[in-house]
Structure 1
C-alpha cells in the first residue's frame, strides 16, 4: 500500500512538472494579460470611465482622440469643453440636425456628455489636412476673418473659446458646409451671430475663409502668424 502511494505521488509530481513545462508559459502569459487589462481598466476609469467608453464609438467619424482625418467631419480634439457639451445637448434635443448624431446623442446621459466634453477638450489638436497652398485665396480668407472679427468669439488664435468652436485646422470641406448651412439657415446659432456673419459671405468668400482656416496650424499663431 505504501509503495502504491509513493508511486502515485511520484506520478502526480511528474505530471505537475510536465504540465508546468507544457502550460506554464501560457499560464504566465495569461496572468500578464490579466494584469495588463487591469491596468488599462484603471487608466480608462481615470480618463473617462470603463470600456467601452463613448468616445470609442466617435473614432469612426472623428478619428482617434477626436482628431479627424476626414475633412468632412469636424475634429473634436482641443474643442472647448462647453462647446462640445452644448452641441451634444443640441443634437439630443433636436435643436441641431444630423442623421448620425441625433440618435447617438439621445442615448447619452448628462454625465456621459460631460465626460465626453472633458475628454475631447484635453486632447491636443492638429490640422485635419494639408490643404493645398493658395496665397491669394488665403489672403482673401484672412482679410474676411479679420473684417468679421471672428477672433472676438473664437479666440485670438481661432482655437475656440467658451461656446465658440475651434476653427483653426478644421477640414476645409467641413468648414465650407457649416458656413453654407449658417448662411441658408439650415443650421441655427442660438445667438444669431453666425447666421448674421454667414449671410454676408458669398460662395467665393466662404471658400476663401475655409481655405485660410484649414491652413491654420493649431497652437502656431493663427491670425498673427499669417
Structure 2
C-alpha cells in the first residue's frame, strides 16, 4: 500500500514537472502580459482615459505629448493649465478665430477641455527648434522683453503662469505670427495688455523678440534677465 502511494506521488510529481516544462514559459509570459496590461491601465487613468484619447489627435500639428518640433505650430507641453483651458474655450466660442481649432474645440466637452489642459500642462517642455539668429538681433530681443516687462506676466524664465502662456522655447515663426496678430488686432487679449504692448513693436522688433524667446531652453534661466 505504502509502495503504491509512493508510486502515485512520483507520477503526480513527474506530471507537475512535465507541465512546468511545457507550460512554465507560457505561465511566465502570461504574468508579464498581465503586468503590462496593468501598467497600461494605470497610464490610461493618468492620461484621462483609454486610447484613442483626444490628445492623440493633437499629435499631427503639436507633436508627441504636445511638444511641437515645427516652428509654425505652438508647443502645448508645459503650458499653464488655466491658459490652455481659456484658449480652447476662446477657439470654441469664436473669440480666437481659427477654422481648424474652432471646429476641434467646439467638438470637445467641458470635461474633455479640462482633461486635455491638465494632460498637456504636466508634460515636460522642450525647445521646439534650434534657433540660429544673429547675435545683435538676439541682444535686441533680450533688451526689448526686459524693457516691456514681459516677465511680469510670463514669469522670470518665461514659463508662463495662470492665463499667461509659456513663451520660452516656442517656435520662432509661431511667436512672430502671434505678436503680429496682437499688433493688428487680429488676435485680442481680454486684458488688452498684449495688444497694447505689440502695438509699440516694429516688424524688426517682433522678429528680434520672437527669435530671442525661441532660443531659450524651457525651465532654464533667461539669458541676461534678472
TM range (shorter): 0.7 to 0.9
Q: CA deviation at 1:41?
A: 3.0
Q: CA deviation at 1:206?
A: 0.3
Q: CA deviation at 1:79?
A: 0.4
Task: Encode CA deviations 1:130-188: one digit per residue, 9 max, x unaligned.
Answer: 11042100010011101110001111111101100000100000001000100111100
Q: CA deviation at 1:27?
A: 10
Q: Is the 8 A contact 1:157 1:224 kept in 2?
A: no
Q: Point out the more displaced range, 38-47 or 120-129.
A: 38-47
Secondary structure of 2:99's aligned partner? coil
Unaligned runs of 5+ in 1: 1-20
**Is 1:184 paired with 2:184?**
yes
Q: Is the 8 A contact 1:156 1:223 kept in 2?
A: no
Q: CA deviation at 1:49?
A: 1.6
Unaligned runs of 5+ in 2: 1-21
Give the aligned partner of residue 199 of structure 1.
Answer: 199
Q: Is the 8 A contact 2:156 2:225 kept in 1?
A: no
TM-score, normalized by length of structure 1? 0.84
Two-structure CA RMSD over aligned residues (Å): 2.2
Query: How many residues end up aligned between the 2 structures?
Result: 207
Give the aligned partner of residue 13 of structure 1.
Answer: none
The aligned runs of 1:1-226 (5 Å cut-off) are: 36-224=36-224
Q: Is the 8 A contact 1:72 1:173 kept in 2?
A: yes
The 2-side partners of 1:103 and 1:41 are apart by 30
Pair 1:224–1:48, CA change in 2 (3 A): farther
Q: CA deviation at 1:43?
A: 1.6
The 2-side partners of 1:110 and 1:223 are apart by 39
TM-score, normalized by length of structure 2? 0.84
The 2-side partners of 1:69 and 1:26 are apart by 42
Give the aligned partner of residue 11 of structure 1.
Answer: none
Q: Is the 8 A contact 2:157 2:222 kept in 1?
A: yes
Secondary structure of 2:186's aligned partner? coil
Secondary structure of 2:58's aligned partner? helix
Task: Encode CA deviations 1:20-47: one digit per residue, 9 max, x unaligned.
Answer: x8xx999997886576345313321233
Task: Encode CA deviations 1:177-209: one digit per residue, 9 max, x unaligned.
Answer: 000100111100011110000100000000000
